[in-house]
Amino acid sequence: MGNVCDAPLIAVPHRAKGAVSIPSQLNFEKVGHPFGPVIGDFKAPFVLQYDYGIPEKYLDLGIAVQPMYFYMGHISRHVRPGARPVHAIVGNSPVGVEGKTFMSVDQATLGGGLNDLARIGIEVTTWPCEGSTRQYWKYNEAGQFQVFGQDWLGNPTTSCLSINTDQYFGGLTLEDCDANGGMFAIKPSQNQVNSTVQYSQIVLQNSLSDPAHSCLMIQPLPGNGGALGPLGGAQVLTGNCNSLSAVSF
């Protein structure tokens, strides 16, 4: 199906049955967005249902029901007023179980298919390791952490862990490798967390900041991460090389 949710517009090829004096296609359905052609243009209702899962019976009423409608149905059908979210997260495999969610033991490469979030402007966060391409990095010749994938139109994308924190997110994001890519050195941690594991620290090199305050570190979410708990979605930024999160990679 592809990620139709992300598509900016889906053409509605005809109006409700019996409707009169409405143009076959309005201007806003055709023009003005940067992401390529309108999906579903000139396609018959039964083709839209088959290709994109947009039900024909609603098209006959003049409504293009997009996949998000069905996503929301999963919540609204069973989660009734007064319900509360509780702690839930997709975790690592428990001890004794080999492999990861998207990567079985006999699999050489990370799974999940192409990463559609390897794009400029996406925030970099930490989550339990799922063995997927969304967590697959290339430490390239320039010392950058680079990711590869494609956008929802199939165009290849690449980007790098940024040199600066994003002014809105407050954490590191994916940016253009040449313009805003951080260059990092991976070194053995000076302060050892324990004696059995040799941890690393990851130090930003192409910055005017104090090297002792240029280490990759993890910023836990407020409220211990809410319903996701601490493991879900903590921010990544640069800071004090002696902090515990900076010496635990």
Partner 1 sequence: MHTGEVISDFFKVSQGIENGETCLTTGWPFLQVGAFTPADSSGDRTIVVLNEANDAANFSLNVVDSTGSKFSMKSSIPEHAIQTYTV
In the range 187-206, which residues lie near partner 1 by CB under 8 A?
193-194, 197, 199, 202
- Whose tokens are 């143009």? That residue is 23
> Which residue number, 14 or 169, has a Cβ lying nearer to partner 1?
169
Among 141, 178, 222, 223, binds partner 1 (CB under 8 A): 141
Choose one: 24-32, 37-45, 56-64, 118-126; the region binding partner 1 (CB under 8 A).
118-126
For the CB of residue 61, give the shortest distance to partner 1 in the complex, in Å: 24
160 binds partner 1 (CB under 8 A): no
Evaluate whether 149 touches 136 at the Cβ level (below 8 Å): no
Q: How far apart are CA 53 and CA 14, in angstroms?
A: 17
Q: How far apart are CA 202 and CA 188, in angstroms?
A: 9
* Residue 90 DSSP SS3: coil
230 binds partner 1 (CB under 8 A): yes
Window 50-79: residues binding partner 1 (CB under 8 A): 70-71, 74-75, 77-79
89 binds partner 1 (CB under 8 A): yes
Residue 36 in tokens: 């390529």
Choose one: 11-19, 26-34, 84-92, 204-212; the region binding partner 1 (CB under 8 A).
84-92
234 binds partner 1 (CB under 8 A): yes
DSSP 77: T
Q: How far apart are CA 155 and CA 147, in angstroms?
A: 14
Q: How far apart are CA 29 and CA 193, in angstroms?
A: 57
> Which residue number, 14 or 134, has a Cβ lying nearer to partner 1?
134
CA-based R_g, the chain, Å: 23
Residue 113 in tokens: 């298919």
For the CB of residue 63, give the shortest distance to partner 1 in the complex, in Å: 21
132 binds partner 1 (CB under 8 A): yes
